[in-house]
Structure 1
């Protein structure tokens, strides 16, 4: 990646931001393999009671994060991006240790909420990447691909840590000092996550430079009596209008209706995405004998999810560019919706496959299609937002889109937990037993596709 100006500074900043961004998917996916078993240990709940309680734990982080994201954005504007990022990392360190020490449902929920309250790092990181892209003349696609890359790494490493290091006293006779891991069987993977955050905290504190131009200008004023360099002045000045051809296109399509459609589309794909992530752990950990699950252990859940990391890599780096060279973004949006709607009901049929090896292969194939659909859907959505909205309003609309995603991720796990508990406890015959959980996800995915009908066709593009 060739950078004008100071390439070493840009590379260092993007590397550190990548490490910071990775911390969130690590801590979020880490608990998926064992949250079912953790809740079961808290109160010896049956499968009906475990679902919505596990959903509350997952929702606590996103709900708290949603309520404070704008606050941390304001802090980063006033006190600096670096300061806000350091606070988020410190909150992650403390909260992950507290979560690993959980002995009750309330403790687990509060520790996850504490992490969410102190963590607005994804939004701040996007701002930093945008500033680095502008200051060093990078392509936006190159800079922002960092987030998809880190999500893929998180989906590989997070479940591996959570599934393979949980209950170390039973798994590989690692009892810890004073039988620490016997008393707290879910602590070790949380300590690994906290240790990662600690290393990144030190690296950020020592090597990350501030990118907030307003603060840099203030420092320049204090250090120098001369007037501010015209380069800073131009960066802080009013935005130049878009070229007439571009401005004309976006003005024709830049209406409140299309903004609402984009917000709705984001809400729908985020909603069924987070509910499936939560429900997958509940489904796979439930009993195979009763036919409501697959009887997986934490290690099995970890392996199945971690295998999807390479799928995300391939889909993001090669799959989507290949598809987009042949199909426009709107068609790819419809394809992603169809992929979700097909996969979700088929996942619920996995307990019917008697042969264990065949059941495993079929599950991995369905998960691969699901995660490829996720990459195609989100990437298409980002491109459509960029094409539909005028440059001067993209920041505002992206904020609304991000809030919609946060809202869905906040309520989705709790909603999914309740739906799963009701479905498992209904004692109705198929498809109104646990299958209805996956059917409802397919319905949401279909509505996701319908949202594309209100997106202007001239917003679609090919590479």
Structure 2
């Protein structure tokens, strides 16, 4: 106690004591346990304790016991503050301890982002390319109309259909199903071109209308699958880690997704041009890029099977607030 008293007295009388006055006042503003019924008990409300110009507390009496209690509590408050600082430093270091479930979710998000931007690039080229070269021969107006309709499909799927499904189906199972469904959907796009060629050769009336209404359902399923995969994977990323590392995990996920999105369009455009100019038969004709998309979807489906079941619930909630999504 004497050593604590001496060290704290020196701290108060040091040249930097004036800068510590406000800190001492704040530290002792919360200490109100010196309640005494005696006349000399002037420590009952230390938040109002006056200080002189040198930073020393003004004592009304010469009670050495009161001074010792005062200095002892000051040392305890200082020790508590040091422990809080060390605790904050430990939290900062722990942000780099990313669990394996988070890495699995991040990679799944990257695969999804790559194949999605790949398809966005291919769809634009596919629809405006002439029919004899493997496209649909759309004008810019018709292309824009199809994308506008898909915007409405996405909004409806996101705010109405997806919440309804996840109340009845486990979200992780839904994620697996949607990944696998991508595979046949992508293979249907080049078949629409074959349908256009067949209708044109046979001079079928309303051939353009038939092709249009054949494309819309396939495109609708494709965009619906996008809602049912992007939304869950973002939830899985958030559920796969604690709040201490959540910012780091999201930052890594967005960085990796941005990287694959930067190379996806160039890669897709290159493959589409190559498939139209190589003069080769199936599967290296206009089917080739859609086969590559189906392979990417198959890889994404296989990887999604490695996601642990724990990503379907939030670790950022208390034990009595855990919610299993879709159960």
User: With structure 1 as the length reference, what TM-score do the two structures score?
Assistant: 0.44
Once the two structures are superposed, residues 9-65 of structure 1 have per-residue CA deviations (whole angstroms, 9 ceiling, x without a partner) of: xxxxxxxxxxxxxxxxxxxxxxxxxxxxxxxxxxxxxxxxxxxxxxxxxxxxxxxxx
Q: Which residue of 2 aligns with 1:414?
A: 266
Hey, what's the Cα distance between the residues in 2 that align with 1:390 and 1:372? Answer: 30
Q: Which residue of 1 aligns with 2:103?
A: 260
Which among 134, 140, 143 is matched to residue 298 of structure 1? 140
Q: Which residue of 1 aligns with 2:307?
A: 455
CA drift of 1:238 comes to 5.6
CA drift of 1:257 comes to 2.9
Hey, what's the Cα distance between the residues in 2 that align with 1:452 and 1:268? Answer: 10
Q: Which residue of 2 aligns with 1:367?
A: 219
CA drift of 1:428 comes to 1.0
CA drift of 1:448 comes to 1.1
Q: Which residue of 1 aligns with 2:39?
A: none
Contact 1:335 1:373 (8 Å CA) reproduced: no
Q: SS at 1:454's partner residue?
A: coil
Once the two structures are superposed, residues 221-241 of structure 1 have per-residue CA deviations (whole angstroms, 9 ceiling, x without a partner) of: xxxxxxxxxxxxxxxx969x9
Moved more, 373-382 or 334-343: 334-343
Contact 1:311 1:372 (8 Å CA) reproduced: yes
Q: Which residue of 2 aligns with 1:335?
A: 177
Once the two structures are superposed, residues 64-105 of structure 1 have per-residue CA deviations (whole angstroms, 9 ceiling, x without a partner) of: xxxxxxxxxxxxxxxxxxxxxxxxxxxxxxxxxxxxxxxxxx
Q: If you compute each CA radius of gyration, which structure gives the higher value, 1 or 2?
A: 2
Instruction: Determine which structure has the larger helix proportion and give its number.
Output: 1
Hey, what's the Cα distance between the residues in 2 that align with 1:434 and 1:286? Answer: 11
Contact 1:330 1:380 (8 Å CA) reproduced: yes
Contact 2:99 2:241 (8 Å CA) reproduced: no
Aligned-pair Cα RMSD in Å: 2.2
Hey, what's the Cα distance between the residues in 2 that align with 1:278 and 1:272? Answer: 10
Hey, what's the Cα distance between the residues in 2 that align with 1:395 and 1:388? Answer: 12
Once the two structures are superposed, residues 123-173 of structure 1 have per-residue CA deviations (whole angstroms, 9 ceiling, x without a partner) of: xxxxxxxxxxxxxxxxxxxxxxxxxxxxxxxxxxxxxxxxxxxxxxxxxxx
Task: Please tell me whether residue 377 in structure 1 is matched to residue 229 in structure 2.
Answer: yes
Q: SS at 1:279's partner residue?
A: helix
Q: Which residue of 1 aligns with 2:161?
A: 319
Q: Where has structure 1 moved over 4 Å in runs of 4 or more? A: none
Q: SS at 1:391's partner residue?
A: coil
Contact 2:101 2:311 (8 Å CA) reproduced: no
What aligned pairs does 1:263-282 form with structure 2 within 5 A after superposition? 263-282=106-125
Unaligned runs of 5+ in 2: 1-86, 92-96, 200-206, 313-323
Structure 1 pair 319/307, CA: closer, same or farther in 2 (3 Å)?
A: same
Once the two structures are superposed, residues 355-397 of structure 1 have per-residue CA deviations (whole angstroms, 9 ceiling, x without a partner) of: 2212111111111001010001011101111211111111100
CA drift of 1:349 comes to 1.0
Q: Which residue of 1 aligns with 2:253?
A: 401
Once the two structures are superposed, residues 186-243 of structure 1 have per-residue CA deviations (whole angstroms, 9 ceiling, x without a partner) of: xxxxxxxxxxxxxxxxxxxxxxxxxxxxxxxxxxxxxxxxxxxxxxxxxxx969x9xx
Contact 1:292 1:351 (8 Å CA) reproduced: yes
User: With structure 2 as the length reference, what TM-score do the two structures score?
Assistant: 0.62
Hey, what's the Cα distance between the residues in 2 that align with 1:349 and 1:315? Answer: 26
Q: Which residue of 1 aligns with 2:239?
A: 387
Hey, what's the Cα distance between the residues in 2 that align with 1:372 and 1:433? Answer: 28
CA drift of 1:331 comes to 0.9
Task: Please tell me whether residue 442 in structure 1 is matched to residue 294 in structure 2.
Answer: yes
What aligned pairs does 1:217-232 form with structure 2 within 5 A after superposition? none
Once the two structures are superposed, residues 231-290 of structure 1 have per-residue CA deviations (whole angstroms, 9 ceiling, x without a partner) of: xxxxxx969x9xxxxxxxxxxxx86432322221111111111111111111111111x1
Q: Which residue of 2 aligns with 1:283?
A: 126
Q: SS at 2:244's partner residue?
A: helix
Once the two structures are superposed, residues 384-423 of structure 1 have per-residue CA deviations (whole angstroms, 9 ceiling, x without a partner) of: 1121111111110000110111011100000111111111
Unaligned runs of 5+ in 1: 1-236, 242-253
Q: SS at 2:279's partner residue?
A: coil
Once the two structures are superposed, residues 294-333 of structure 1 have per-residue CA deviations (whole angstroms, 9 ceiling, x without a partner) of: 1111101101111101110111001111111111121111
Hey, what's the Cα distance between the residues in 2 that align with 1:256 and 1:391? Answer: 12
